[in-house]
Amino acid sequence: MNIRFEQTQNPKPKPPQDALFFGKYFTDHMFVMEYDEGKGWHDPAIVPYAPISMDPASMVLHYGQAVFEGLKCYRAGDGRLLLFRPERNFARLNKSDERVCIPHIDEEIALKALTELIKVEKDWVPSAEGTSLYVRPFTFSTEAHVGVHPSGSYKFVIILSPVGAYYPEGLNPVKIYIEDEYVRAVKGGLGFTKAAANYAASLRAQQKAIELGYTQVLWLDGVERKYVEEVGTMNVFFIINDEIVTPSLEGSILPGVTRDSTIALARSWGVKVTERRIAIDEVYSAYEDGSLKEAFGTGTAAVISPIGEFNWAGRKFRVADGGIGEISARLYEELTGIQYGRLEDKFGWVKEVL
Ligand SMILES: *Cc1c(COP(=O)(O)O)cnc(C)c1O
């Protein structure tokens, strides 16, 4: 595959590493590839980062055929640039795309596109503690046509954003609001995908949680509002007695790469990890009888996010005394250690770009 390269004439100043925030700055170039019916995916190119012009009738604006992914590129202490299980993200992109009728993308081509783009933008990968280059691949429909059917044309784009440490003052517990009115997804729907529509459906509840002083919502199942699903942008884990439990993947939950890595890592320590349905009453009873030891979320952005407090229909309950549990802290240390190349990569998860 030949990727056309057009160098920017206006390189941007790089933001200071201590003021990166999340998703605010974008690098000088982006990767773009087009799809047209009869032609397939074509014209892969790395071009200057710039607005994309669209017809007002572009189908994505009306029917929402749009999917995204999120992963990070880490700068190791010795300067190497590392990706964490990137092939998983491109495999998931195709699973999501398939669900909303966006055509399949060759995963090797996608990974090659990403590594080439990172090589062009290598000076944008920050080096300060906890910083990284966030990678946002996405696909969307472009055909100009008002009428509900799959589009005949699409774009696949990758943009990059240098991001700051998720916890500038060290690992911090979050407060989570258990949502029992709105739902995120139902089996048979889009829950297992990173389709943009899922996030549109989540915003109202997220806004409500923030107004009430919580960081994110914990979703319950869409039928009975009884079983735990996941947090807004994270999968969720509980430690009850000595066992780690997490909801099983049954179609309405996003299969997180961090979730999968957490399960494998904890099992490698000899800790029992069970994937099963977990009723919210069971979590509350475990809190009441003292067997709920820790709770945490997993996702690319925060890696491990210890949960210090829940609010379930007005009942507030604290976990790990509102602090950080021992296993949560160890998972965070070891996962980030592997991602930044500080610890041995026993699982073969890390891919070196440069
Ligand atoms: C992205 C995401 C996650 C976490 O997935 P990772 O692959 O670990 O980053 C979990 N839940 C939802 C809803 C997400 O969008």
Domain count, the chain: 2
**What is the number of the ligand 1 atom nearest to the C-alpha of 184?**
13
Residue 133 lies in a domain: yes
Do 195 and 275 share a domain, yes or no? yes
> Residue 271 has which token pair?
């800790």
| 170 pLDDT higher than 90 | no
Residue 348 lies in a domain: no
| 91 pLDDT higher than 90 | yes
Q: At what angle do helices 257-268 and 86-99 cross, to 10 degrees?
A: 130
Alpha-helix residue ranges (DSSP H) falling in 170-305: 196-211, 257-268, 280-288
The ligand 1 site (C-beta within 6 Å) comprises: 70, 194, 230, 233-235, 254, 256-259, 298-300
Do 116 and 222 share a domain, yes or no? no
Cα 72 to averaged position of ligand 1 atoms, centre (Å): 13
Cα 235 to averaged position of ligand 1 atoms, centre (Å): 6
Per-residue pLDDT tens over the stretch 108-144: 999 999 999 999 999 999 999 999 999 999 999 999 9
| pLDDT score of 346 | 97
pTM of the model: 0.97
Cα 40 to averaged position of ligand 1 atoms, centre (Å): 29
| pLDDT score of 1 | 79
Last residue of a domain, one of 114, 133, 163: 163
User: For residues 121 and 104, what is the distance between their CA atoms, to the nearest angstrom?
Assistant: 26
**What is the number of the ligand 1 atom nearest to the C-alpha of 300?**
9
Do 139 and 255 share a domain, yes or no? no
Residue 350 lies in a domain: no
Under 8 Å CB-to-CB from 238, ≥6 apart: which residues?
Answer: 244, 245, 246, 278, 283, 286, 292, 294, 295
From 65, 143, 69, select the one nearest 99 (Cα to Cα): 65
Do 40 and 103 share a domain, yes or no? yes
| pLDDT score of 168 | 75
Do 179 and 157 share a domain, yes or no? no
Residue with CA at minimum distance from ligand 1 atom 5: 256
Under 8 Å CB-to-CB from 18, ≥6 apart: which residues?
Answer: 128, 164
| pLDDT score of 165 | 84
| pLDDT score of 75 | 98
Residue 352 lies in a domain: no
Which range of residues forms the domain containing residue 41?
4-163
Contact present, 127 and 65 (Cβ < 8 Å): no
C-alpha radius of gyration, the chain, whole number: 21
Residue with CA at minimum distance from ligand 1 atom 13: 233
Q: What share of the chain is helix, strand, coil (3-state, %, to 5)?
A: 25, 30, 45
Residue 131 lies in a domain: yes
Alpha-helix residue ranges (DSSP H) falling in the chain: 60-63, 86-99, 107-120, 196-211, 257-268, 280-288, 326-339
Length of the chain as a residue count: 354
Do 204 and 144 share a domain, yes or no? no
User: For residues 223 and 184, what is the distance between their CA atoms, to the nearest angstrom?
Assistant: 11
From 235, 237, 261, give the residue whose CB has the most ligand 1 atoms within 8 Å, as the site to mutate. Answer: 235
Strand pairing partners for 235?
A: 298
Cα 65 to averaged position of ligand 1 atoms, centre (Å): 19
Per-residue pLDDT tens over the stretch 207-256: 999 999 999 999 999 999 999 999 999 999 999 999 999 999 999 999 99
**What is the number of the ligand 1 atom nearest to the C-alpha of 71?**
9
Last residue of a domain, one of 163, 187, 202: 163
Do 97 and 184 share a domain, yes or no? no
> Stretch 251-264: mean pLDDT, rounded?
98
| 18 pLDDT higher than 90 | no
Residue 168 lies in a domain: no
Cα 70 to averaged position of ligand 1 atoms, centre (Å): 8
| 64 pLDDT higher than 90 | yes
Do 207 and 331 share a domain, yes or no? yes
Do 19 and 145 share a domain, yes or no? yes
Q: What is the CATH number of the domain that holds 229?
A: 3.20.10.10
Do 73 and 144 share a domain, yes or no? yes
User: For residues 353 and 80, what is the distance between their CA atoms, to the nearest angstrom?
Assistant: 8
Do 324 and 184 share a domain, yes or no? yes
Do 63 and 22 share a domain, yes or no? yes
Residue 72 lies in a domain: yes
| 171 pLDDT higher than 90 | no
Last residue of a domain, one of 134, 163, 192: 163
194 phi/psi in degrees, rounded to 5: -100, 55
| pLDDT score of 302 | 92
| 169 pLDDT higher than 80 | no
Per-residue pLDDT tens over the stretch 284-296: 999 999 999 999 9
> Residue 184 has which token pair?
């995120």
Residue with CA at minimum distance from ligand 1 atom 15: 233
Under 8 Å CB-to-CB from 303, ≥6 apart: which residues?
Answer: 166, 258, 332, 335, 336, 339
User: For residues 3 and 346, what is the distance between their CA atoms, to the nearest angstrom?
Assistant: 33
From 300, 304, 305, 349, give the residue whose CB has the most ligand 1 atoms within 8 Å, as the site to mutate. Answer: 300
Q: What is the CATH number of the domain that holds 109?
A: 3.30.470.10
